[in-house]
């Protein structure tokens, strides 16, 4: 009799254990894991798209930032220092020679492609007009985009401040500097 009772109790405990396990499993399957979902990082996606390529593309498509308003307070000494990026191809002295590119003394408001003894590309000759502050700003931002087909092999100055500084310095290279805007 004792043995039988023991078996009954043992069977009861086993059955109870199995039911408990089945219940836990069923709970895992049928109840949504709400706690885990709350631990996810909902802000991650927004941050990633803020730093992503889209914003960079928008800046590129916007074209050169205008610099007219920056010219009066531009840093002329910084502009002169920047001209080191040009001296491989340009001379800035009055009466100086052409190198890979034409002499740039008095270039502000000079007619485009007008240095008599320099052989310009057809693209720049066809461009026409004069080197106003706006034209210089656009050309120096991305020469090949502003004058498609130019033979000036230079990537450009992407920072508006740099363009304002160098254009303000270029303006001083003249017997009779163009008035500031
Ligand atoms: C790798 C050589 C090279 C570099 C570097 C270079 N240029 Fe030029 N640049 C040229 C050439 C070549 C031309 C003539 C382009 C043409 O005929 O299409 C030119 C033309 C120009 C013109 C038009 C001049 C005119 O008479 O119409 C300006 C303005 C100018 N460059 C400014 C600059 C400035 C400012 C820098 C420096 C930030 C610079 N360039 C850097 C080669 C260069």
Q: Does 50 share its domain with 121?
A: no
Q: What is the pLDDT of residue 15?
A: 52
Residues with CB under 6 A from ligand 1: 85-86, 88-90, 100-102, 104, 107, 112-115, 120-121, 123-124, 131, 140, 150-154, 157, 166
- What number does the ligand 1 atom closest to the CA of 86 have? 37
Pair 158, 130 in one domain? yes
pLDDT at 16 over 80: no
Q: How far is the CA of 89 from the centre of ligand 1 (A)?
A: 7
pLDDT tens track for 46-56: 444 444 445 44
- Number of domain units in the chain: 2
Question: 48 with 23, same domain?
Answer: yes
pLDDT tens-digit readout, 84-132? 999 999 999 999 999 999 999 999 999 999 999 999 999 999 999 999 9
Q: Are 76 and 165 in contact (CB under 8 A)?
A: yes
Which residue range is the domain that position 22 belongs to? 2-56
């Amino acid at each position: 009799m004792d043995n039988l009772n023991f078996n009954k109790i043992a069977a009861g405990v086993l059955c109870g254990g199995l039911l408990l396990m089945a219940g836990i499993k069923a709970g895992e399957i049928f109840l949504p894991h709400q706690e885990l979902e709350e631990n996810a990082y909902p802000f991650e996606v927004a941050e990633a798209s803020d730093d992503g390529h889209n914003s960079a593309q928008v800046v590129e498509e916007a074209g050169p930032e205008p610099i007219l308003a920056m010219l009066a307070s531009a840093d002329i000494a910084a502009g002169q220092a920047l001209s080191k990026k040009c001296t491989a191809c340009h001379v800035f002295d009055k009466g100086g020679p052409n190198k890979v590119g034409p002499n740039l003394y008095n270039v502000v408001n000079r007619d485009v492609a007008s240095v008599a003894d320099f052989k310009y590309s057809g693209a720049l000759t066809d461009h026409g007009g004069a080197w106003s502050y706006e034209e210089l700003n656009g050309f120096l931002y991305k020469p090949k985009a502003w004058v498609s087909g130019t033979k000036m092999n230079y990537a450009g100055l992407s920072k508006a401040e740099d363009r304002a500084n160098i254009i303000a310095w270029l303006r001083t290279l003249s017997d009779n500097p163009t008035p500031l805007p």
